[in-house]
Amino acid sequence: MKERVYRIDGGRPVRGEITCLGAKNFVTKAMVASVLSDGPSTLTNVPDIGDTAITVEMLRAIGVRISYDGPKGVMELDPSPVGRSAVPLPDSGSNRVPILLLGALLHRFEEVAVPALGGCRIGRRPVDFHLGAIQQFGGTVEESEDGFVARRAGRLRAARIVLPYPSVGATETSLYLAVLSEGRSLISNAAIEPEILELVTMLRGMGAVIYTLPGREILVDGVPRLHGTTISILGDRIEAASWACLACASNGQITVHGIRPEILGNFLSHFRQVGGGFEFVGPDSIRFHRQSALSPAVIETDVYPGFSTDWQQPFAVLLTQASGVSVIHETVYEDRFGYLRAMTELGARSQLTTHCLGGGACRYRNGNWEHSALIFGPSPLRAVECLRIPDLRAGLAYVVGAAVASGTTKIAGLQFLERGYGNIVPRLAAMDLRIEDAEI
C-alpha cells in the first residue's frame, strides 16, 4: 500500500506570507467546554486539523449536534441532544480529549465512561491529576485497560485543588468540574497558558463566575447552569514560532498573520538573542527574518510564561545554524528529544545527556532520562531519502529541517503532523518553498 509523504526540495531562503490557523491547544478544549451548556455555541477560526476531526467524531457519537464549515472555520455545537454517557473510541484515532470529557460530562450523567488516551509518545503524561480532581469534587473513578469510568451521587461539590505541577490538562479538568459544582472552588498552582486564559474567557461568556488571582490561583463560584456563547479561536502560537524559526534558519523572511504578539512572550526574546529579527506590521501580524549572524543560546523549557516545550523542536533546527554550542534543557516532558536522531541524518550535530544543563527546577534531576541536549553549529544540512515523524511537534521540526537542507527530502508519518497542522503543502508552497504531496 502506498503512503502519502511530503517531498521538500530545500536549501533556499523561504520568503512570503502565511496565516496561522486557530490554536490546536485551544480548539478541542473549547469544543469540550460547549457540552457544559444547555444551548448551542459557535466557534470561529476553527482549524481544519486531525485533532478537530477526532473530537468532532467523539462529540457526535454521544449526541452533540455539530455543523462545521471547514473552509470558513465556523463550527456550531448544540449539546442539548446529548444522551450517551459512554464515549467511544473514534475510528479516526484518539487524542487527550477523552480525559477532559470525563469531568465535563459528569455534570450531565451520574456515570461516564471514556476510552484510554491517545496522543504523542513524548513522556509518561500521567492522568493522576485529572482523576484526583474528580475525586476531590465528590466523584469516584475506576481505571482499566480499556479506559476510565467516573461516577457521582448528587451534584458535584466545590473543592480546593492544589495541583502538584501546573498541568494544562489538569487545570482544564478542574475548571470544567468547578464551574457547575455547588459552592466556591479554588485551583492552586494552576497553569496560566494563553489557551487556559482563553478557556476562562469562554466559560465566563457561558455564564461562569471565575476570578484569576495572583500566584497561579483561580477562584470559581459554581453556578447551576451555563448557556451557549460565541468565541473566536486564537491563533496558534506554536505554529507562529515554527514559521519564525523557518524564516531565520533559511535566511528568508516570513510575515505571519493571525497571531497576537503578546502570547509569544519569551519566544521573541530568545529569537532576538540568537540573531533573529522581527517587526510588528499590524495588530496581529509579525515579519520574521535573520537580523545578524546566528549565536548559540541556552534554552530551558518550562510552563508559561516560560519557553514552551512545543517551541523547542523548530528552535533546535534554528540552533543547528548558529556558531557555537547551544543547550536545550527540557523540564516539561522527559522523552522529547527523539527527533534529534533524524536531525543527525540531515547533518545536525547534537549530544544528549541525563544531566540537568540548566539552573531551573527540574523534575528529572538525578534520573535516567536524556532530557538535556547540546547542539553544535553551524552544521550544513543535507537532504536524506526519507524521515519518519515520531510525534506531532517533531513533525514540523522535520519540515523546517528539510526546508533548510540542500536537496530533496521525503517526510513520512504525516498522520502525526496533520493532527495539529492543516493544509501544510499549499500554505508553504505559497511562500515559494518547493513542497508537494507525493506517494511512496
Bridge-based pairing state of the strands 276-282 and 285-290 = antiparallel
Look up residue 398 and give its three cell numbers.
Answer: 522535520
| Residue 277: partners with Cβ closer than 8 Å, 6 or more residues away | 248, 288, 289, 290, 291, 292
Q: Count other Cβ atoms within 10 Å, centred on residue 317.
A: 31
Q: What is the DSSP letter of 86?
A: B
Paired strand residues for 254: 16, 288
Q: At 258, phi and psi to the nearest 5?
A: 80, 30
- In this structure, are strands 74-78 and 386-388 parallel, antiparallel, or unpaired? unpaired
- Sequence-distant (≥ 6) Cβ neighbours of residue 148 within 8 angstroms: 98, 99, 102, 113, 114, 116, 127, 131, 141, 142
**How many whole angstroms separate alpha carbon 318 and alpha carbon 246?**
7
Q: How far apart are the first and last CA of the chain?
A: 9
- Which residues are known to be catalytic? 120
Q: How far apart are CA 148 and CA 140, in angstroms?
A: 10
What's the angle, vertex CA 206, arms to CA 202 and CA 212, rounded to 5? 55
Measured CA to CA, the distance from residue 198 to residue 38 in angstroms comes to 20
